[in-house]
Amino acid sequence: MELTNKRLGRHGVLVSSLCLGTMNFGWHTSEEDSFAIMDRALELGINFFDTADVYGWSVERGHTEEIIGRWFAQGGGRRDAVVLATKVFNPVDRKANLPEVNSDGRSLSAYKIRKHCEGSLKRLQTDWIDLYQMHHIDHACPWDETWQAFDALVKQGKIVYVGSSNFAGWDIATACQEASKRGLMGLVSEQSIYHLDNRMIELEVIPACRHYGLGLIPWSPLAGGLLGGALEKYESGRRT
């Protein structure tokens, strides 16, 4: 299999045409198998890895990032070979820590963005995140605060690009326009659910991405395994 690298929307960064999703690492896929998958991905030319600060739910939120961090720590140029994407928005309550201020909230406040970025960097054992994505829209927090927080992280060298996930077309337009007013690069990508059985983003999200030059990152392209034949067919069933 030969993969080509493509620009992420209108921006300069090159990523593989396939992105390795890591949501199952640590709680469904063992750490050993996760390491093997990431090694194999690099061998095949997949240099784009996606995760989130909350992945690893049934073990502990953040556990998936820790696994990726231990994989990076093996060296061999692994970190430099990967365009690393993670996300912020949801609460990440760590069992070993005392409850943090605002820990219950789902938000894109400056406090949360700064705090959770530091946590992700520590778990991932890296100095920077290539693509820091807003996991969901936060209609309660003003864009002044959100964009100021992301801009501060860019200037500190802790993140390179900002993306969105699960945004509506209108949210993408607003985010891009608010960033432009401040002279910021703004969004470079949107990550949305997209597969043959769910094509809703074709109505507004994809047109918005095209208009603003965003790269589109589909998640669950096989509908959680449904389109890949992962589900078993039973001979008998029941009517409800």
Q: Which domains does the chain have, with CATH numbers?
A: 14-222 (3.20.20.100)
CA distance linking residue 12 with residue 162, whole number of Å: 13
Q: What does pTM read for this prediction? A: 0.91
CA distance linking residue 158 with residue 163, whole number of Å: 15
Please give the structure tokens belonging to residue 185.
Answer: 């690069």
Q: With beta carbons less than 8 A apart as the criterion, state whether 205 and 232 touch.
A: no
DSSP character at residue 151: H
Q: Pick the closest to residue 187 from 121, 134, 135 (CA basis).
A: 134
pLDDT tens digits along 192-235: 999 998 899 999 999 999 999 999 999 888 877 777 877 776 66
Positions marked catalytic = 55
pLDDT band at 93 (very low <50, low <70, confident <90, very high): low
pLDDT tens digits along 113-158: 999 999 999 999 999 999 999 999 999 999 999 999 999 999 999 9
